[in-house]
Amino acid sequence: MRISLFVTCLTDLYFPEVGESVVRILHRLGHEVDFPAAQTCCGQPALNSGYADEARAVAKRMIGLFEHAETVVTPSGSCCSVIREYYPHLFENDPVMHGKAVALADKTFELVELLQKRLKVDWSRWRLSYPGTATFHYSCHHRGIGMSPEDVLGLVREFKDLEYRPLEKMEQCCGFGGTFAVKYGDISGAMVRDKVACIKATGARTLICNDGGCTLNIVGACRREGVDIEAVHIAQMLDAAMRNGGGQAVDSTVAAAPRGDREWEAKQ
């Protein structure tokens, strides 16, 4: 399968290693990966702030970039929800663009959703290994695209040597919410402090957090509260676990982006 990566702006700017892990995972599974270098933001900040016209302009550009993609994957449930839930609504009065928005929404998947539900990967061949202790923060936006905590935890249980420690209030918002954290700083701060207290109580050394906004918010609060924990995306864990397990890889091709984007090629 040829899969196009929508990396998202937060991943690109703050967590590029997550995007690289996504490419390596798909490469090992035998898929061709395409990275449209002209991609930018999905328009969520403008949309959340009530700037529908500005969000519509960004959405139109994104739809054009991924219009001919076979399948689109993103490591962010938040940005996936914008494409799936909001792009069609932005073009309700434009039949042509509405059709294109629906088409993109139907072929866009969050990473775990793609691996577990669409590709139905058999992980037993990989002997996934990731020693340590971990807990999991469930991002609000994953609920918006129909994902449950079990979708991620089912994959986590495939990791040998990993001790999973349940997080109290796992499904409670971390308080980020994009501009919510700016407009309602006191409330946001109280929410993330509560989240950090729950994380600390697990004693886990690793926090699985699959949305960049949540990760930035929680990691910042952990540092302020003196909580020593490593936050990783499930893509990074899976990338490392596939490598550690030594499973048999399948030969495949990663489509080269323009020469300025060679860092996105998979490296075995």
The pLDDT of residue 125 is above 70: yes
For the whole model, what pTM was predicted? Answer: 0.88
In CATH, what number does 123-243 get? 1.20.1050.140
Residue pointed to by tokens 């990074």: 236
DSSP state of 92: T
Which distant-in-sequence residues (6+ apart) come within 8 Å of 102 by Cβ? Answer: 88
What is the structure's pLDDT at 252?
35
Q: How far apart are CA 79 and CA 159, in angstroms?
A: 27
The pLDDT of residue 256 is above 80: no
Which distant-in-sequence residues (6+ apart) come within 8 Å of 221 by Cβ? Answer: 189, 192, 193, 195, 196
Query: What would the pLDDT profile of 212-250 be if each residue is shown by its tens digit?
Result: 999 999 999 999 999 999 999 999 999 999 998 765 543
Provide Rg for the chain, Cα atoms: 18
Q: 95-104, 186-195, 240-249: which range is least confident on average?
A: 240-249
Please, which pLDDT band fits residue 262 given cuts at 50, 70 and 90?
very low
Q: How far apart are CA 162 and CA 224, in angstroms?
A: 27
Which distant-in-sequence residues (6+ apart) come within 8 Å of 184 by Cβ? Answer: none
The enclosing H or E element of 73 equals strand 71-74
Percent share of the chain, pLDDT over 70:
91
Q: What is the secondary structure of 163-208 as a DSSP string?
A: EE-PPTTTTS--S-TTTHHHHTHHHHHHHHHHHHHHHHHHT-SEEE
Domain chopping of the chain, boundaries: 2-119+249-264, 123-243
What is the structure's pLDDT at 246?
64
Q: How far apart are CA 95 and CA 108, in angstroms?
A: 20
At residue 131, the 3 state secondary structure works out as: strand
The pLDDT of residue 257 is above 60: no
